[in-house]
Amino acid sequence: MKILIVTVGSYGDVLPLVGLGRELRTRGHTITFFSNGHFSNLVQQAGLGFVPMGSAEEYDEVANHPDLWHPHKGWRVIMKRMMAGPLQEFYHLLCSHIEPGNTLLISSTLGFVARLVQETHHVPNVTVHFSPGVFHSAYQAPRMPGLPLPNWLPVALKNGVWKFIDHLVIDPILKPTLNQFRRGLGLPPVSRIFHTWLHSPDLVLGLFPEWFATPQPDWPPSTILTGFPMYDDAVDANLPATIQAFLETHPQPFIFTPGSANKHGTTFFAEAAKACQLMNRPGIFLTRYPEQLPQPLPSRIAHFSYAPLSQLLPHSAALIHHGGIGTCSQALRAGIPQLIQPYAFDQFDNAVRIENLEVGRTLTQRSFHAPNIQECLEQLIDSFNIKTACATIKRSLKDQNHLSDSCRQIEYLIQQRSSVEN
């Protein structure tokens, strides 16, 4: 098949689908990747075809936005940007690569353009969600800042809350532009976009295991969970020499990262540096934006722009991070505890699930100060129960290839469509 992969977001959204694309390519499919030009080298180095949707400058413009990592305003920044004009351009770009009868679409959560092409060209489409927070369930609702919907509340009440949020908060941002474009395509208007329309009726892949998030009765019926993709672009089993040298001198460091696209982590790193000094422990700071770092860095702290977590975390004492699902899953596989300081999006929900698994703790932005970091890390690394839980999950994830499981589901969809058409 000719498979077109559409992804919108940061490295955490792009890397898993690059891994999926590589796996599908080894199975004989032709892969073309559609994403922001910022990721062109990453995708092409993986051996996949690449078509830019937006420029690297536009990516930086969003990353620089002061509200991007605000718990309430961040998603508005993303949604308004998506609806600001490129939707029509990206739609026609994607349509120009459709080969009738021989094309499959795979899109990340925000790949709205793929859903439109699916409807107008009757092309099978797979929606991929990386974390359970995307599913706005009235049974087990995801944890969101300012939206406490505990499990004991009546389902009817929670469903009413979601309808209220859809109609008064989410849809007003998305519907006007989306439905105006749909009218031009001869498509009927849609509403409750994040609750219903977002999910492909053909197949929805949740890239996380059932023990992390149990499917709920009101999730889309086409949903299948295949497990964490665990792809981080590690080209070989060896860490860069500079990181190896630091680890030899400073074993079992704490690893700190506020997220690959976060340019607003100045306070995060300042408090992290103080915590390492309080505990007299080494640390590694991971960020592509070193202007956030305190200067000078203490002697036992090193900065690296990037390191494959799959290779680094097994040599670490704990991971302190923002709660992105890919980062969470790498720490689970490494069997180390996590301290999460969530900023926005699905990070609050992921943090709650990590706590429920008894492998991590959470600090809010207001409480993310060196003494609190020290207290949490000491509890995490000294707790027998946490060590046991980390080790148990590590064993359960050993030698598993969930990307292959995802490919099998995609190929099964291809076979189903082929048999119906024939």
pLDDT range class, residue 83, cuts 50, 70, 90:
low
Q: Write down the pLDDT at residue 338.
A: 98
Q: Write down the pLDDT at residue 191.
A: 94
Region 40-62: what's the mean pLDDT? 91
Taking 60 as the threshold, does the pLDDT of residue 236 lie above it? no
Q: Write down the pLDDT at residue 75.
A: 80
Q: Bridge partners of 223?
A: 204
Q: Write down the pLDDT at residue 237.
A: 60
Higher pLDDT, 273 or 10: 273
Region 352-356: what's the mean pLDDT? 97
Taking 90 as the threshold, does the pLDDT of residue 420 lie above it? no
Six-digit token pair at 353?
A: 């699930």
Region 188-212: what's the mean pLDDT? 95
- Residues whose CB is less than 8 angstroms from the CB of residue 204 and which lie 6 or more positions away in sequence, other chains included: 126, 127, 128, 129, 219, 220, 222, 223, 224
Q: Write down the pLDDT at residue 84.
A: 60
pLDDT tens digits for range 165-185? 999 988 998 899 899 999 999
Region 199-208: what's the mean pLDDT? 96
- What average pLDDT does the structure give for the chain? 92
pLDDT range class, residue 9, cuts 50, 70, 90:
confident
Higher pLDDT, 147 or 212: 212
pLDDT range class, residue 329, cuts 50, 70, 90:
very high
The reply to whether omega before 258 is within 30° of 0 (cis) is: no
Q: Write down the pLDDT at residue 254.
A: 98
Q: Write down the pLDDT at residue 155.
A: 95
Taking 80 as the threshold, does the pLDDT of residue 261 lie above it? yes
Taking 80 as the threshold, does the pLDDT of residue 418 lie above it? no
Region 138-144: what's the mean pLDDT? 92
Q: Percent of the chain, pLDDT > 90?
A: 75
Topology adopted by domain 241-397: Rossmann fold (3.40.50)
Taking 90 as the threshold, does the pLDDT of residue 394 lie above it? yes
Q: Has this prediction a pTM greater than 0.75?
A: yes
Buried b (16+ CB within 10 A) or exposed e, 102-139: ebbbbbbbbbbbbbbbbbeeebbbbbbbbbbbbbbbbe
Residues of the chain with CATH 3.40.50.2000: 2-230+401-421, 241-397
Taking 80 as the threshold, does the pLDDT of residue 293 lie above it? yes
Question: Which class would CATH give 2-230+401-421?
Answer: alpha beta
Looking at residue 147, the DSSP 8-state letter turns out to be B
Q: Write down the pLDDT at residue 88.
A: 87
E strand or H helix at 244, and its extent?
helix 241-249
Q: Write down the pLDDT at residue 422.
A: 60
